[in-house]
């Protein structure tokens, strides 16, 4: 039988942004309800080691960090619901009692005076079985997260847009050689980035090449090479020895049922007022990678989750729902 949840704050998404918003909201007495979505913990659940999250002298496991955030959110009073929001009726504003209405995949109804959308974004992958096999063992989609582990080694970056070029340039601070693999004979990146790329002696560009397979060895197995194919002559293949592979072909925001409810940019990221977590609809806030396509870090996501909770508390106070 379907349930109805009524709360001052509904948080959609269980990553660093969602859990942080929940912690702040619960401590403010808003009795938040957090709907976890399909992947509780977000992208950090597939991140092997995290070295750049403040407060830990040694690397920590991504799943462990998210488990700690979950336990903290529940400890201070957050209600977790393992469901997926499939319908959101936000555009028309709150009802006469001040509640927005949403529906879960389970059929449960969620009524909330404020909503924090923290559904994140997913990296686009190549779609290879070997890519999945070596995630966390040499395959990554975040150079700033994992680049440090490849100090003094050779790595490859897959892609030809701004993200790929920026990742390649960043990795030159760690790796001895960065191989940029691009399936065409020209880049889509901005000219200023291309100039920096071509002027960097540590970067080698492989034109008209696509990744056919990611190869690994050892126990446990880690990435050791790429098998590349010539996009102009698929009969030609070559093996490139590398220690790590960074897939940089973009991200897709997990906007889902919110895309036609709040203002989004052309790529589907939710737009917030500069310096805030406020969306185009009063009472609706966005935090984390769903509205941040620049930094995409766990610590910045947590920061915007804090902002969303504080702004929601201010909204509820101004509306007279809490004192």
Q: What are the helix (H) ranges across 126-246?
A: 129-133, 143-146, 162-171, 191-198
Q: How many CB atoms lie within 10 A of CB 198?
A: 10
The residues facing 205 across adjacent strands are 180
| Measured distance CA(141)–CA(43) in Å, rounded | 10
Q: What are the helix (H) ranges across 141-217?
A: 143-146, 162-171, 191-198
248 SS3 class: coil
| CB 152 within 8 Å of CB 180 | no
Cα–Cα distances in Å, from 263 out to 1, 61, 270, 274, 288? 34, 35, 6, 14, 16
Q: Where are the beta strands (DSSP E) in 96-149?
A: 100-104, 109-117, 121-123, 139-140
Catalytic residue positions? 142, 145-146
| Measured distance CA(289)–CA(36) in Å, rounded | 15
Sign of the dihedral defined by the CA atoms of residues 72, 78, 79, 83, in that order: negative
| Measured distance CA(18)–CA(41) in Å, rounded | 9
Q: Which helix (H) or strand (E) is 251 found in, with range?
A: strand 251-253
Q: What are the helix (H) ranges across the chain?
A: 16-27, 62-75, 129-133, 143-146, 162-171, 191-198, 298-318
State the virtual CA torsion across 30, 31, 36, 42 in degrees, nearest 10: 50
């Amino acid at each position: 039988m379907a349930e109805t949840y009524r709360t001052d704050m509904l948080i959609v998404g269980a990553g660093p942004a969602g859990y942080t918003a929940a912690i702040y909201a619960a401590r403010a007495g808003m009795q938040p309800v957090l709907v976890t979505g399909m992947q509780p913990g977000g992208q950090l659940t597939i991140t092997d080691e995290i070295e750049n999250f403040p407060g830990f002298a040694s690397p920590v496991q991504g799943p462990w960090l998210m488990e700690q955030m979950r336990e903290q959110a529940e400890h201070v009073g957050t209600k977790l619901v393992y469901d997926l929001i499939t319908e959101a009726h936000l555009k028309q504003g709150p009802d006469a009692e001040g509640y927005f209405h949403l529906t879960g995949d389970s059929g449960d109804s969620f009524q909330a005076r404020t909503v924090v959308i923290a559904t994140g974004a997913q990296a686009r992958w190549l779609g290879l079985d070997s890519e999945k096999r070596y995630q966390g063992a040499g395959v990554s989609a975040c150079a700033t997260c994992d680049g440090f582990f490849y100090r003094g080694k050779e790595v490859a970056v897959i892609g030809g847009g701004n993200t790929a070029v920026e990742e390649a340039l960043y990795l030159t601070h760690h790796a001895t050689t960065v191989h940029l693999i691009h399936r065409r004979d020209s880049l889509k990146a901005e000219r200023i980035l291309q100039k920096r790329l071509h002027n960097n002696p540590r970067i080698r560009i492989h034109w008209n090449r696509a990744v056919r397979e990611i190869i690994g060895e050892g126990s446990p197995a880690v990435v050791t090479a790429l098998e590349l194919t010539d996009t102009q002559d698929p009969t030609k293949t070559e093996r490139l020895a590398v220690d790590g592979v960074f897939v940089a072909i973009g991200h897709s925001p997990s906007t889902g049922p919110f895309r036609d409810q709040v203002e989004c940019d052309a790529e589907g990221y939710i737009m917030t007022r500069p310096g805030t977590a406020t969306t185009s609809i009063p009472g609706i806030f966005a935090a984390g990678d769903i509205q941040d396509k620049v930094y995409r870090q766990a610590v910045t996501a947590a920061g915007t989750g804090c902002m969303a909770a504080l702004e929601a508390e201010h909204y509820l106070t101004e509306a007279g729902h809490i004192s």
